[in-house]
Each structure stands twice: as C-alpha cells, then as structure tokens.
C-alpha cells in the first residue's frame, strides 16, 4: 500500500513537471525580452505587466490573435517579435497572459 501511494505521488509530481517548466520558460522569456519595455511604470507607455484592466481592454478590442499579430509584426513603438526572435505565436499568447496577471 505504501509503495503504491509513493508511486502515485511520483506520477503526480511527474505530471506537474511539464507545466512547471513551461511556466518557468514563460517567465524567463518575459524577463529577457518583453520586460525591457513592459515593466510597471515603464517610460514607453507600453501596457504594463499586472495592469489587468488595460490588458483585458486590449483583449476585448483586438482579441488574443490580434495582439499576437501585433507583437509578430511590431507596432509604432514595439519592434517586430518584441525582441524575442525565438518566440512562437503560442509563446506570445502565453506571454500576453502572463503580463495580464
Ligand atoms: C522596445 C520595447 C518593447 C518590447 C521589447 C516589447 N514591447 Fe510590447 N509594446 C511596446 C509598446 C511601447 C507598446 C504600446 C503600443 C505602441 O505604442 O506601439 C506595446 C504594446 C504591446 C501589445 C499591445 C499591442 C496592440 O495591438 O495594442 C502587446 C500584445 C505586446 N506589446 C506584447 C509584447 C510581448 C509579448 C513582448 C515580448 C516578447 C513585447 N511586447 C516586447 C513596447 C515593447
């Protein structure tokens, strides 16, 4: 019984691992790229990390797809790919969600 329980716990830990890694990846991508301009109280008037109201407004106006497209193509003040050349569109969607919190 004890062995079974241990095994169940290991399986649970393993199943959580990919999620944990994915999150750490998003955080490090954010810190190495988007954070240059998207930190709270930035000088660029970029929507700030944690400004949930502004991000929700943008999501309503443009949709997540529209916002992902903005990053990929760049905007007047944001370079194309937001300085993350290795990011996929999926990464951008995750980074946008991360910044909205
Ligand atoms: C060099 C500065 C800079 C970097 C780096 C940067 N951004 Fe931006 N971003 C901005 C600015 C400034 C705006 C506000 C829109 C504008 O004025 O161009 C913006 C706007 C946005 C928007 C809203 C676009 C829209 O259509 O309204 C999204 C989404 C976004 N950034 C995501 C990201 C992501 C994701 C990253 C990292 C991969 C990133 N940005 C990196 C400066 C930057």
The response to whether residue 44 sits with its C-beta less than 6 Å from ligand 1 reads: yes
Q: Which domains does the chain have, with CATH numbers?
A: 21-100 (1.10.760.10)
Per DSSP, the residues of 42-93 read: -TT-PPPTT-HHHHHHHHHHHHHHHHHHHHHH--SSS-GGGG-TT--HHHHH
Residue pLDDT, tens place only, 47-58: 999 999 999 999
| 15 or 28, greater pLDDT | 28
pTM reported for the whole predicted model: 0.87
pLDDT band at 35 (very low <50, low <70, confident <90, very high): very high
How many whole angstroms separate alpha carbon 87 and alpha carbon 21?
A: 16
pLDDT band at 20 (very low <50, low <70, confident <90, very high): confident
Residues 91 and 29 sit within 8 Å (Cβ to Cβ)? yes
How many whole angstroms separate alpha carbon 29 and alpha carbon 2?
A: 41
Residues 19 and 33 sit within 8 Å (Cβ to Cβ)? no
Please report the pLDDT score of residue 22 as a whole number.
84
The response to whether residue 42 sits with its C-beta less than 6 Å from ligand 1 reads: no
Residue nearest to atom 16 of ligand 1 (CA): 77
């Amino acid at each position: 019984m004890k062995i079974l329980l241990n095994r169940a716990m290991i399986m649970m830990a393993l199943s959580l691992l990919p999620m944990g890694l994915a999150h750490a990846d998003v955080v490090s991508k954010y810190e190495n790229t988007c954070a240059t301009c998207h930190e709270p109280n930035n000088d660029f008037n970029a929507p700030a990390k944690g400004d949930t109201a502004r991000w929700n407004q943008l999501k309503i106006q443009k949709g997540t797809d529209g916002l992902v497209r903005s990053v990929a193509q760049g905007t007047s003040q944001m370079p194309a790919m937001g300085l993350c050349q290795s990011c996929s569109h999926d990464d951008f969607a995750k980074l946008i969600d991360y910044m909205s919190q």
